[in-house]
A and B are shown apart, each in its own frame.
Chain A
Amino acid sequence: MAEVLLKTEELTKSFGGLVAIQELSMEVEAGEIHAVIGPNGAGKTTLIAQLSGSLKPDSGRILFENRDITHVPEYRRSALGLARSFQITSVLKNFSALDNVALAVQAHAGHSFRFWSKARKAQELREPALEILEKIGLTDRMDMPASSLSHGEQRQLELAMALATRPKLLLLDEPMAGMGVEESQKMVELLQDLKGTHTLVLIEHDMDAVFALADRITVLVYGESIACDTPENIRSNPEVRKAYLGDGEAITEIEEV
Chain B
Amino acid sequence: MGLLLIEQAFNGLQFGVMLFLIAAGLTLVFGIMDLVNLSHGSLVMVGAYLATTLIEWTGSFILGILLALPSTFLVGVVVEIVVLRTLYERDHLDQVLATFGLILFFNELIRIVWGPASLYSGLPESISGHVEILPGVPYPAFRLLIILVGLLVALLIYFIVARTKLGMLIRAGASNREMAGALGVNIRMLFTLVFGLGASFAGLAGMMLGPLTSVEPGMGEPLLILAFVVIIIGGIGSIRGAFIAAVIVGLVDTLGRVFLPMLLRSLVAESTADTVGPALASMLIYILMAGILVFRPRGLFPARTG
Contact = CB atoms under 8 A, between A and B. Distances in A.
The answer to whether A and B belong to the same complex is yes
Interface residues of B, number: 2
A238 interface: no
A110 interface: no
Nearest to A15: B306
Contacts of B306: 15-16
A50 to B, nearest CB: 15
A10 to B, nearest CB: 23
B86 interface: no
Contacts of B126: none
Which DSSP category, helix, strand, loop or mixed, fits chain B's interface? loop
A160 B305 CA distance: 33
Interface string B289-306: 000000000000000011
B297 to A, nearest CB: 14
Nearest to A18: B306
A127 B305 CA distance: 44
- How many chain A residues sit at the interface, stated as a range, is under 10
Interface string A14-38: 0110000000000000000000000
Contacts of B305: 15-16
Contacts of A16: 305-306
A44 B145 CA distance: 57
B104 to A, nearest CB: 32
A16 B175 CA distance: 12
A21 to B, nearest CB: 15
A64 to B, nearest CB: 26
Contacts of A15: 305-306
A16 B305 CA distance: 8
A16 B306 CA distance: 9
Nearest to B175: A16
A18 to B, nearest CB: 9
B237 to A, nearest CB: 16
A96 to B, nearest CB: 24
A15 B305 CA distance: 9
Nearest to B306: A15
Interface string B29-68: 0000000000000000000000000000000000000000
A37 B163 CA distance: 43
A80 to B, nearest CB: 26
Interface in B267-306: 305-306
A16 B302 CA distance: 13
A62 B166 CA distance: 45
B289 to A, nearest CB: 26
Nearest to B305: A16
Nearest to A16: B305
A15 B175 CA distance: 13
A200 to B, nearest CB: 29
Interface string B83-107: 0000000000000000000000000
A43 to B, nearest CB: 14
B72 to A, nearest CB: 37
A15 B306 CA distance: 7
Interface string A108-137: 000000000000000000000000000000
Interface in A158-187: none
B268 to A, nearest CB: 41
B176 to A, nearest CB: 11
B238 to A, nearest CB: 16
A106 to B, nearest CB: 27
A57 to B, nearest CB: 15
Interface in A3-17: 15-16
A257 B305 CA distance: 41
B304 to A, nearest CB: 12
B132 to A, nearest CB: 50
A142 B306 CA distance: 37
B103 to A, nearest CB: 32
Interface of B: 305-306
4 contacts: A15-B305, A15-B306, A16-B305, A16-B306
Interface of A: 15-16
Q: Which 4 A-B pairs have the closest CB atoms?
A: A15-B306, A16-B305, A16-B306, A15-B305
